[in-house]
C-alpha cells in the first residue's frame, strides 16, 4: 500500500469498505461513485480521489463492481491477513467489544482479554478466558498479538499501556481520557466517547 496516505482518507475508505460489505449482503452488484459519495455527504470526485490512493478501480462511466471493489480495498488495507488484538479492561465497554462480530470483516481477531478484578479473572467472555493484567507480556508474546484496545479505568491507563508496549504491542486504541506517554514505536489512536456525546448534545440544543 502506498505510504503517507492521509489518515482521513484511510478512514473514509474504511467506511466505503464497510458499506460495500452491507451492499453485498443486500444483493447489490454495482455502484456508482455518486452513491458512495452520498454515504459521507461528499462528492464523487472525492471518492475517486480517495480510491486512487490505493490503485485503479472501476471503469469510466460504468461505476464499480461491488464485490471486486470491496475485495480490492480489503487487499490494499491488508485485511487478508488477520491482525491479532487484545482487550485490556473488561468493564461494560470491553465486554461489548469482545462480543462484536464485525471485527473479522476488517481483518481483526480478538485473541485475549485482560482485567485486574479478581471477580473477572478466569471468567469467560465470549469464549475467551480473562487473564490477569500482570500476564499481558507472556500472553501477548505467545499469541503474537500486535494491537490492543485499552478500556481500563483512567487511573491505571498509563501503567497498563506501558505493560502493553513492553510486551510488544505496536498499536493501541485508547478509550480512556488519559493522554498516554509511550515511545514512538507505538501508534496510539484516542477515542473519547464522552466528548463525542457532549459534541452531539451541543448540536441538538
Annotated binding-site ranges for NAD(+): 89-94
Distance CA 26, CA 33 (A): 18
Show binding-site residues. Answer: 89-94
Q: Which helix (H) or strand (E) holds 203?
A: helix 193-203
64 dihedral zone (left: phi>0; alpha: psi -120 to 50; beta): beta
Q: Cβ distance 186 to 170 under 8 Å?
A: yes
Looking up cell 472501476 gives 58
- Measure Cα distances from 6 to 10, 53, 79, 174 in Å: 7, 9, 19, 20
Distance CA 33, CA 131 (A): 46
Which residues does 50 contact at the CB level (< 8 Å), separation at least 6? 9, 12, 13, 16
> Strands 128-132 and 64-65: what pairing?
unpaired
Amino acid at each position: 500500500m502506498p505510504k503517507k496516505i492521509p489518515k482521513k482518507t484511510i478512514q473514509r475508505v474504511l467506511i466505503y469498505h464497510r458499506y460495500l460489505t452491507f451492499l453485498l449482503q443486500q444483493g447489490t452488484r454495482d455502484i456508482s461513485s455518486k452513491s458512495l459519495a452520498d454515504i459521507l455527504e461528499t462528492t464523487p470526485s472525492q471518492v475517486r480521489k480517495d480510491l486512487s490512493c490505493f490503485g485503479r478501480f472501476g471503469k469510466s462511466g460504468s461505476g464499480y463492481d461491488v464485490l471486486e471493489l470491496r475485495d480490492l480495498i480489503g487487499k490494499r488495507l491488508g485485511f487478508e491477513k488477520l491482525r491479532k488484538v487484545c482487550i485490556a479492561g473488561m468493564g461494560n465497554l470491553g465486554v461489548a467489544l469482545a462480543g462484536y462480530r464485525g471485527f473479522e470483516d476488517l481483518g481483526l481477531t480478538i485473541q485475549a482479554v485482560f482485567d485486574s478484578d479478581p471477580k473477572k479473572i478466569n471468567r469467560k467472555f465470549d469464549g475467551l478466558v480473562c487473564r490477569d493484567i500482570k500476564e499481558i507480556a507472556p500472553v501477548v508474546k505467545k499469541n503474537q498479538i500486535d494491537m490492543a484496545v485499552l478500556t481500563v479505568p483512567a487511573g491505571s491507563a498509563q501503567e497498563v499501556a506501558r505493560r502493553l508496549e513492553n510486551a510488544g504491542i505496536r498499536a493501541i486504541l485508547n478509550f480512556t481520557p488519559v493522554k498516554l506517554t509511550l515511545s514512538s514505536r507505538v501508534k496510539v489512536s484516542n477515542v473519547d466517547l464522552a466528548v463525542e456525546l457532549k459534541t452531539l448534545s451541543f448540536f441538538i440544543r
